[in-house]
A and B are shown apart, each in its own frame.
Chain A
Amino acid sequence: MLTFLARRLALALVTTAAVVAITFALVHLAPGEPFVAGAEGRFVPPETVERLRERFGLGRPLGVQFARYAINLAQGDLGESFARHRPVADVLGEALPNTLLLGGAALLLSFVLGIGLGIVQAARAGTLTDAALGTIVLAFYSVPAFWLGLMLLLVFGEWLHWLPVAGMTDAALHGTLSTLGRALDVARHLVLPALTLALVNAAAVARYHRAAMLEALGADFVRAARARGLAEGRVVLHHALRSALAPAITLAGLSVPALLTGSVLVESVFGWPGMGRVAYEAIFARDYNVITAVAVVAGVLVALGNLLADLGVAAADPRVRRR
Chain B
Amino acid sequence: MSPLRRAWARFRRHRFAAAGAVIVAALAFAALAAPLLAPADPLAQPDPVGLQNQPPSAEHVLGTDRYSRDVLSRLLYGARVSLGIGAAAALLAVTIGAGVGLAAGLASPGVDQLLMRGVDVAMALPRVFLILLVLALWENAPAGAVIGLIAVTGWFRTSRVVRAVVLRLREAEFVQAARALGSGRMDLARRHLLPHLAPTVIVSVTLDVGNIILLESGLSYLGLGVRPPAPSWGNMILEGKDQLFSAPWVAAAPGVALLLTVAAFNLVGDGLQDAFDPRRNR
Contact = CB atoms under 8 A, between A and B. Distances in A.
In-complex A–B contact (CB below 8 Å) = yes
Nearest to B241: A150
Given A32-B137, A151-B255, A141 B222 contact: no
B245 A158 contact: yes
Q: Name A's interface SS.
A: helix
Contacts of B127: 257, 261
Contacts of B218: 144-146, 265
Nearest to B140: A31
A211 B281 contact: yes
B158 to A, nearest CB: 17
A279 B266 CA distance: 31
A215 B126 CA distance: 31
Contacts of A131: 16
Contact of B217 (A144, A151, A284): A144
Nearest to B20: A138
B244 A150 contact: yes
Nearest to A146: B221
A143 B133 contact: no
Nearest to B264: A142
B197 interface: no
Interface in B122-177: 124-130, 132-134, 136-139
B255 A264 contact: no
Interface size class of B (residues with CB under 8 A): 35 or more
A294 B262 CA distance: 30
A65 interface: no
Given A150-B241, A218-B281, A260-B126, A27 B133 contact: yes
Contacts of A284: 136
A129 B2 CA distance: 34
Contacts of B120: 11, 15
B237 interface: yes
Nearest to B248: A154
Interface string A1-37: 0000000000100110011001100110011100000
Contacts of A147: 217, 237, 251, 254-255, 258-259
Interface string A169-191: 00000000000000000000000
B251 A125 contact: no
A166 B258 CA distance: 25
Contact of A257 (B126, B132, B234, B267): B126
A26 B134 contact: yes
Given A19-B126, A23-B133, A303-B124, A280 B222 contact: yes
A73 interface: no
Interface in B16-64: 16
A31 B137 contact: yes
A279 B129 contact: yes
B125 A18 contact: yes
A27 B137 CA distance: 8
A18 B121 contact: yes
A139 B280 contact: no
Contact of B128 (A138, A143, A264, A306): A264
Interface string B87-120: 0000000000000000000000000000000001
16 contacts: A15-B120, A18-B125, A22-B125, A30-B137, A31-B139, A138-B266, A141-B263, A147-B237, A257-B124, A257-B127, A261-B127, A261-B129, A264-B128, A279-B132, A280-B132, A302-B124
Interface of A: 11, 14-15, 18-19, 22-23, 26-27, 30-32, 125-126, 131, 138-139, 141-148, 150-151, 153-154, 158, 211, 214-215, 218, 257, 260-261, 264-265, 268-269, 279-280, 283-284, 286, 291, 294-295, 298-299, 302-303, 306
The 4 closest A-B pairs by CB, nearest first: A30-B137, A214-B281, A142-B262, A147-B255
Given A142-B266, A257-B126, 19 more contacts: A19-B124, A22-B130, A30-B134, A30-B137, A30-B138, A31-B139, A125-B282, A138-B263, A142-B214, A144-B218, A144-B258, A150-B255, A265-B222, A279-B132, A280-B132, A284-B136, A291-B133, A294-B129, A298-B129
Interface of B: 16, 120-121, 124-130, 132-134, 136-139, 210, 214, 217-218, 221-222, 234, 237, 241, 244-245, 248, 251-252, 254-255, 258-263, 266-267, 280-282
